[in-house]
């Protein structure tokens, strides 16, 4: 006889932006810098031109103003601008201007390979990331080199190998944390962070503040960057809290490393701090400060895109409820094996991939900043400071690679032998060749391309499956406000509007006898 007590309840989970003023801050900064730039252009033309010459340059001035206007429009409508240029290019390279940069987009297999094989001294991913994130002002003074490998690339092995190999040990605990967190929301409707509440709040705010600070610094004139950037870094405190909290831990680990080197026994640790230290250069090991800087960069890269992708996936679950039942059946029978291995769940994997294909976080991938002049085989020139990149959203929504590209088919990437034929044509639709969310190929640039593909993609994919899987197993989700846009745009990125106002209506059948054991594991 089943003696478990079942409690039928419902509650709303509101995902809210903790500081709504941040969105207004970004917009106000963009508008202000735009007005200053327009004024500077106008003043330059007028003050450097004699009165009789002014009528002769009015057309040139108008063209300049129009060009700058379109460049500033990229900040608000980047994905659409990239898509329009992609459609007109017919496979050729094309350029898009932003207020602070020139982007050269390539989409052919030949040109993408040319980007991937270009030396790091010519086209640099690290230089592009440095310009995008402005780490000197957003990551407590972190100032990495433009060229990859100058101070080692230990983080690549730490993420691709050590972190991935430890997924079977990480995922069960992560599942407990997710389940416990939702139970807390269900019982109290209050926010309870981890043991160090100030650190957790700062760690979450750090992502948003990095975006704000970096965007402002990128747009202001270069001679003002040290002054304005310093003020913003001083005003936004989250990166300082994160750094100050992690530094003593990293210093203790460095002391243990030194003791181990002289033969003394030290505690064993299996976490990202230790893996970063273990893969730093042997001849010149990273200091505690450098280890924390690496962790802060990894934290931003792992949280921002991952959380937004999960949010878009939940949105698709709500508007395509026909996928819920087959996904739940897969989770009921195969989730345990997934936790033990870190692999599997092909239906959920395909659903997340299809969601990411139609609502990608980014419309630009494979970013490379030119450190030296570079010329593509078609003659297109990339000057120092320009970026070469791929139009990832346009490629993933191209009929050349994806049949019926604008229709959502959640199981389009599943092997036809895995899922039996269903009455629903949506569930039966397949790509000619099955693939995985973590794949990297000519039609899938979510993780970058070639030798620079994201080393943490296996961990990111597994975390997405844990969070989405736990919710699907235990809750029925509905959009609080089904009508309206699901995302907003800044540059080439899409940010979920759901982060601001999405509600999830949850009907949960809770097995109360499992609570004590779950909470015990969570402790």
pTM reported for the whole predicted model: 0.81
CATH fourth-level superfamily of 2-522: Cytochrome P450 (1.10.630.10)
Euclidean distance between the first and final Cα of the chain, in Å?
31
What's the pLDDT score for residue 60?
A: 65
Residue 63 has pLDDT above 90, yes or no: no
Residue 32 has pLDDT above 60, yes or no: no
Distance CA 193, CA 199 (A): 9
Per-residue pLDDT tens digits for 260-269: 888 888 888 8
What's the pLDDT score for residue 392?
A: 95
Q: Taking a C-beta distance cutoff of 8 angstroms, is the pair 388, 382 a contact?
A: yes
Number of H helices, E strands in the chain: 20, 11
Per-residue pLDDT tens digits for 412-424: 999 887 766 544 5
Q: How many CB atoms lie within 10 A of CB 507?
A: 13
Distance CA 376, CA 112 (A): 10
Angle at the Cα of 495 from the Cα atoms of 493 and 497, rounded to 5 degrees:
150
What's the pLDDT score for residue 10?
A: 45
Per-residue pLDDT tens digits for 499-509: 333 334 444 43
Which residue ranges are tagged as binding site?
454
What's the pLDDT score for residue 149?
A: 57
What's the pLDDT score for residue 428?
A: 76
- The pLDDT-based confidence of 150 (bands split at 50, 70, 90) is low
| Mean pLDDT across the chain | 79
Distance CA 456, CA 475 (A): 29
Q: Taking a C-beta distance cutoff of 8 angstroms, is the pair 499, 485 a contact?
A: no
Q: Is the sign of the CA dihedral 413, 417, 418, 420 positive or negative?
A: positive
Residue 9 has pLDDT above 80, yes or no: no
Residue 46 has pLDDT above 50, yes or no: no
Per-residue pLDDT tens digits for 301-344: 878 888 889 989 998 998 899 999 999 999 999 999 998 888 88
Residue 9: phi and psi, rounded to 5, are -140, 170
- What does the pLDDT average to over 242-247? 90
Domain range list for the chain: 2-522
Share of the chain above pLDDT 90, in %: 34
Q: What is the DSSP letter of 362?
A: B
What's the pLDDT score for residue 161?
A: 79
Which residue ranges are tagged as binding site for heme?
454
What's the pLDDT score for residue 117?
A: 92
Q: What is the DSSP letter of 34?
A: H
What's the pLDDT score for residue 492?
A: 84
**259 HSE (CA, 13 A, CB side):** 11
Residue 151 has pLDDT above 80, yes or no: no
Q: Among 298-312, 324-338, 353-367, 459-473, which stretch is predicted with the lowest mean pLDDT? A: 298-312
Per-residue pLDDT tens digits for 155-180: 677 777 778 888 888 888 888 888 87
What's the pLDDT score for residue 36?
A: 52
């Amino acid at each position: 006889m089943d003696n478990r007590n079942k409690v039928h309840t419902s509650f709303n989970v509101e995902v809210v932006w903790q500081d709504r003023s941040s969105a207004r801050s970004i917009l106000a900064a963009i508008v202000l810098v735009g007005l200053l730039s327009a004024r500077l252009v106008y003043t330059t033309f007028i003050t450097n031109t004699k009165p009789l010459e002014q009528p002769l340059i009015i057309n040139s001035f108008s063209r300049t103003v129009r060009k700058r206007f379109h460049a500033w429009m990229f900040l608000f409508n980047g994905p659409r601008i990239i898509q329009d240029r992609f459609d007109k290019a017919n496979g050729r390279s094309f350029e898009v201007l932003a207020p602070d940069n020139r982007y050269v987009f390539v989409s052919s297999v030949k040109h993408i390979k040319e980007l991937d094989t270009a030396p790091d001294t010519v086209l640099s991913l690290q230089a592009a990331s440095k310009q995008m994130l402005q780490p000197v002002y957003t990551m407590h003074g972190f100032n990495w080199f433009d060229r990859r490998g100058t101070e080692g690339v230990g983080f690549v092995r730490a993420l691709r190998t050590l972190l991935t190999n430890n997924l079977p040990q990480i995922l069960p605990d992560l599942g407990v944390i997710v389940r416990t967190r939702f139970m807390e929301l269900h019982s109290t409707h209050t926010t309870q962070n981890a043991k160090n509440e100030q650190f957790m709040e700062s760690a979450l705010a750090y992502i948003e503040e990095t975006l704000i600070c970096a965007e402002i610094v990128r747009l202001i004139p270069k001679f003002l960057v040290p002054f304005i950037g310093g003020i913003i870094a001083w005003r936004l405190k989250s990166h300082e809290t994160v750094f100050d909290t992690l530094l003593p831990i990293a210093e203790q680990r460095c002391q243990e490393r030194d003791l181990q080197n002289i033969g003394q026994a030290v505690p064993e640790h299996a976490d990202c701090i230790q893996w970063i230290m273990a893969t730093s250069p042997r001849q010149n090991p990273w200091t505690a400060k450098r280890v924390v800087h690496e962790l802060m960069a990894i934290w931003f890269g792992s949280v921002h895109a991952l959380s937004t992708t999960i949010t878009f996936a939940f949105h698709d679950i709500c508007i395509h409820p026909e996928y819920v039942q087959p996904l739940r059946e897969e989770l009921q029978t195969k989730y345990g094996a997934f936790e033990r291995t870190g692999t599997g769940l092909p239906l959920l994997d395909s659903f997340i991939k299809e969601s990411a294909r139609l609502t990608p976080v980014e419309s630009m991938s494979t970013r490379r900043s030119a450190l030296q002049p570079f010329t593509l085989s078609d003659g297109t020139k990339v000057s120092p400071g320009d970026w070469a990149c791929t139009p990832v959203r346009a490629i993933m929504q191209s009929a050349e690679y994806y049949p019926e590209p604008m229709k959502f088919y959640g199981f389009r990437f599943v092997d036809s032998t895995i899922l039996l034929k269903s009455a629903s044509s949506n569930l039966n639709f397949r790509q000619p060749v099955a693939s995985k969310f973590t794949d990297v190929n000519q039609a899938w640039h979510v993780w970058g391309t070639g030798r620079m593909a994201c080393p943490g993609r296996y961990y990111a994919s597994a975390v997405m499956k844990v969070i989405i899987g736990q919710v699907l197993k235990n809750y029925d989700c509905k959009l609080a406000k089904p009508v309206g846009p699901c995302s907003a745009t800044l540059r080439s990125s899409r940010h979920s509007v759901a982060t601001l106002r999405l509600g999830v209506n949850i009907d949960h059948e809770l097995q109360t006898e499992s609570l004590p054991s779950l909470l015990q594991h969570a402790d």
